[in-house]
Amino acid sequence: MDSTPDLYRATQARATNHTVATLPTQTALVRGVGIDLIELERIARACARHPRFVERILTPAERAYCLSHSASAVQHIAGRWCAKEAIAKAVGRPLRWQEVEILPDPYGKPVVHLYGTSATLVPEGELLVSITHTRTLAQAIALWVVNR
């Protein structure tokens, strides 16, 4: 009996058939990459010490989303912090906290929205982010992708 997974065989079959017609017509170029990692305890301390901390770093829609997850609100706040830091690193310039908004799409994928001056710093392309966390850490990676 063949133990090769069906998905692998299907991928190999497509690769050998040279399905070039399904490739995108434009080439995507990664213009910037950023990554950030933070201990959840640091965010929890900042929230406890500075009552307006969350208001300063998150938009009203982000606050509503993060605080709706009461059991894991700190993880969600820390994830947004990391994502915004990673985006600034990918762009290569500081951005205003309130002008960068990261909200989930209907499937839970984080989507970046830029407003104001921050939007003018990224005149083309798309910002992609991935956010993850454990019991003690949150991490995010951001890519600035443009079509060429």
H helices of the chain, where? Answer: 6-16, 40-49, 53-57, 60-67, 73-91, 116-121
Based on the residue annotation, tell me whether 133 is a catalytic residue of this protein: yes
Amino acid letter at 54? V
Q: Which of 51, 79, 76 is nearest to 64 (CA)?
A: 76
As averages over each run of 10 residues, the pLDDT of the chain (148 residues) reads 46 42 68 97 96 95 94 95 98 95 96 95 94 96 93
Catalytic residue among 18, 76, 89, 113: 89
Helix (H, G, I), strand (E, B) or coil at 129: strand
CA distance 139 to 38: 7
Q: What six digits make up the tokens of 90?
A: 């990918």
pLDDT at res. 10 = 43
Can you give the pTM of this predicted structure? 0.81
Is 113 a residue of the active site? no
The pLDDT of residue 147 is 87
Phi, psi for 143 (deg, rounded to 5): -125, 135
Give pLDDT, residue 51: 86
pLDDT at 16: 42
Other CB atoms within 10 A of residue 143 CB: 19
